[in-house]
Structure 1
Amino acid sequence: MRAKGITRRTLSAGLAGAALAAAVLTAPAQAAQPADRGGHGAPGWRLKDTGTDARFRGLAAVSRSTAWVAGSRGTVLRTTDGGRGWRNVSPPGASDLEFRDVEAFDARRAVVLAIGEGEASRIYRTEDGGASWTESFRNPDPKAFYDCVTFFDSRHGLAMSDPVDGKYRILSTGDGGRSWRVLPSAGMPAAQPGEAGFAASGQCLVSSGPRDVWLATGGGATARVLHSADRGLTWRAAESTIPAGDPARGVFGLAFRGGAGLAVGGDYRAGEPSPRAAAVTRDGGRSWRQSATPPPAYRSGVAWLPYGRSAALAVGPTGTDLTTDGGRTWRTVDTGSYDTVDCTPDLGCWAAGEKGRVARLER
């Protein structure tokens, strides 16, 4: 828990965060940056050489120096030196799995989620920086397909599955991911026909504070955001303004800071238009309004910049967009391909995506 009140340290961090947002905003939109070799250039993403071509849709930023990524072929990497070096800490025997989410508590403790039907959906946990892993959950139900995982703190967390028997299924842990149980479905509203979550960025299930959690949907007649204020026991659904009505369209990523929330999405198919690809809420997700100037294309990941009240980044295969007015308007600031983004209180912002791409935001 952070102490309340404004200290000199947090004030300095806030000013640095504002400066970072301003630097990115004033930089011209640019293609992928070369790998970081210690030099200085225009502010923006600096690619870090991961030594793999795995696609990383799972990302957990711990600090400016430490981050975890999880992706295809059961690949999990960890850096503790700002991305200069990466250690392959993939769980043994996981090469046939697709990791789509990772939640890390520090440089040693992390939880990763593998997606898929039936037993392909699994959760692994490490307490020693990935030197060893324990499989803590293997889905026994062939009708379930788990998409995302989130934690409220180092002990309490949830994972979500696409609808089973007409309702989203929620797993709960109270011991840091060592064990999991399925929550009762009585408090979950019915899913729409064809509705599901998108395991595209690890952001279809996100939490903020000790009890609030949100679930993003698509594929149904409308793209919705479901909210629970009691750690997943009861939920209320709200329609977003992001178009759905097709299995490829809907809300793909969420970010919340208290009651202020951002939703991004669109149509993930290459070349398909994605109008109204972003939405905002100021009441904790009870109501949503369309961004006046949304990103120009599909976006799968979104994150608030640290300490700022209104700056955030959204990423997708065709670029990165910045908002400095709380999601009302967005501007493209980079054209490199990323699937997910995450930021930390010490001004560490990371992005990850296809072909082993991992980058850190630098000025």
Structure 2
Amino acid sequence: MKVMGKTRRLIATGLCGAAVTAALAAPNAHAAPEAPAPVGQGAAAHASWSLTDTGTTARFRGLAAVSRTSAWVAGSGGTVLRTSDGGGHWRDVSPPAAAGLEFRDVEAFDGRRAVALAIGEGEASRVFRTDDGGASWTESFRNTDARAFYDCMTFFDHRHGLAMSDPVDGKFRILSTDDGGRSWKVLPAAGMPAAQPGEAGFAASGQCLVSSGPKDVWLATGGAATARILHSGDRGLTWTASESTIPAGDPARGVFGVAFRDRSHGIAVGGDYRAGLQSPRNSAVTADGGRGWRQSTTAPPAYRSGVAWLPHSRSGALAVGPTGTDLTWDGGRTWRTVDTGSYDTVDCTADLGCWASGEKGRVAFLSVSRG
């Protein structure tokens, strides 16, 4: 089971969409989340975004939600922050050796153990791990191949994880760990399909590589003639590729983020990240593990980079991007904009909490409770 937050197995409880939609549209509050109300059949749902004060202007494209009270964010300038009180206070736990690097993904096992990915060409791509809440960090991987550019990372459990690089020698490169990110090795490329000309991943939200369960993982692409989603059922050894319905054909267009609530049901979001340009058909859904994708009937109105299933729901999910947040209550087939704040990524936890982060130090908590 994936405990790191980008995807997780959820059960249905039938949250009330109208109440969540209304609360999401309410003004932002600056307060730590209250304890969740007990979940009961037929109870109303309540939710609201709460912007927190991070004390920085870094852009946080990396986010790992641990619980309603605990979360990690990682972003520009080698910045890593951690909270243990629901965003009431953020502690700067940036690795000293990462100054000037660009963190785009962070995966957390709990409030003390986390793994962060810095992206870029050659040695700019690095992985750091902490076991003491960020008081100290160990650099566990530094890319020495100038052709590689690592984008995203995911973990299946507290030991097994993967990171992905844009194509090297015509195929996406996969990095693997079986000791919680303390050491890494490049997997053989024999089981990876050939990349299309210009195909790459987008290091926009930490969601171009996501997992669900002990062995399933998906890799999202763009930039080429077709935006694809690749799937592996054996922790990255062999892959199959499927075309998404999200347009590509340009280095700025494609699938930016995916989320799976189990090994079958997934949502993909993306579009064209350039401000002011249209992003039609920017979301898609699958019910067969990504072998086939169907275009959403009503898509978000603009480019979206992050997506997450709502806690304890088979049909509710959030999509975020620089122009707003959208909510679905039918598994991604139709979306409705419920907030216009700028966020790059979103992540939810099993104890009824969701977090979002983005530009100018923005980190917010979405409280989802039943009462």
Asked if Structure 1 and Structure 2 have the same fold, meaning a TM-score greater than 0.5 normalized by the shorter chain, the answer is: yes
Offset, 1:313? 0.2
User: Unpaired runs of 5+ in structure 1?
Assistant: 3-10
- Deviation of residue 37 (structure 1)? 7.3
Deviations 1:17-67 (A, max 9, x none): 714x5422234746x72533789xx94211000000000000000000000
Aligned with residue 20 of structure 2, among 2, 13, 24: 24
Q: Distance in 1 between matches of 2:89 and 2:58?
A: 16
For residue 211 of structure 1, what is the aligned residue in structure 2? 215
Q: Which of 257, 275, 291 is the matching residue for 1:286?
A: 291
Q: Secondary structure at the match of 1:171?
A: strand
What secondary structure is seen at the aligned counterpart in 2 of 1:108?
Answer: coil
Q: CA contact under 8 A between 2:128 and 2:138: conserved in structure 1?
A: yes
Match of 1:232 in 2: 236
State how 1:126-205 maps to structure 2 within 5 Å.
126-205=130-209
- In structure 1, what is the equivalent of residue 265 of structure 2? 260
- The reply to whether residue 346 of structure 1 matches residue 356 of structure 2 is no
Determine the structure 2 residue equivalent to 1:8. Answer: none
Matched, 1:54 2:58: yes
State the shift of 1:332 in Å. Answer: 0.3
Question: Conserved in 2, the CA contact under 8 Å of 1:263 and 1:280?
Answer: yes
Q: 2:122 aligns with which of 113, 118, 121?
A: 118
Asked if structure 1 preserves the Cα contact closer than 8 Å seen for 2:174 and 2:186, the reply is: yes
Aligned to 1:7: none
Q: Aligned-pair distance for 1:362?
A: 2.6
1:332 corresponds to 2:337 = yes
SS across alignment from 1:26: helix
| Preserved contact between residue 24 and residue 333 of structure 1 (Cα < 8 Å) | no
**Take 1:76 and 1:133, find their aligned partners in 2: how far apart are those partners?**
11
The partner residue of 1:304 within 309, 314, 318 is 309
In structure 2, the partner of 1:73 is 77
Q: Which has the higher contact order (CA 8 A, sep 6+)?
A: 2
Report the Cα offset of residue 14 of structure 1.
5.8
Normalized against structure 2, the TM-score is what? 0.91
Q: Which residue of 2 aligns with 1:361?
A: 366
2:6 maps to none
- Report if aligned partners of 1:44, 1:334 keep a CA contact under 8 Å in 2: no
Counterpart Cα distance in 2 of 1:25 and 1:76? 31
Indicate conservation of the 8 Å contact 1:67/1:79, yes or no: yes
The answer (yes or no) to whether the contact 2:24–2:47 under 8 Å persists in 1 is no
- The residue that corresponds to 2:250 in the other structure is 246
SS of corresponding position for 2:123? helix
Distance, in Å, in 1 between the alignment partners of 2:222 and 2:28 is 32
Q: Distance in 1 between matches of 2:19 and 2:364?
A: 17
SS in 1 for 2:139: strand
Separation (CA, whole Å) in 2 of partners of 1:310 and 1:335: 22
CA distance in 2, matches of 1:103, 1:38: 22
The alignment status of 1:35 with 2:43, answered yes or no, reads: no
Please give the secondary structure, in 2, of the residue aligned with 1:56: coil
1:343 Cα shift? Answer: 0.2
- When residues 38 and 224 of structure 1 are mapped into structure 2, their CA distance, relative to the original with a 3 A threshold, is closer
What TM-score results when the alignment is normalised by the length of structure 1?
0.93
Mapping of residues 10-21 of structure 1, within 5 Å = 15=13, 18-19=15-16, 21=17
Q: Which amino acid aligns with 1:217?
A: T
Q: Secondary structure at the match of 2:164?
A: strand
* Secondary structure class of the residue paired with 1:101: strand
Gaps of 5+ in 2: 3-9, 35-45
Percent of paired sites with the same residue = 78
The 2-side partners of 1:266 and 1:36 are apart by 33
1:94, CA displacement in angstroms? 1.4
SS in 1 for 2:231: strand
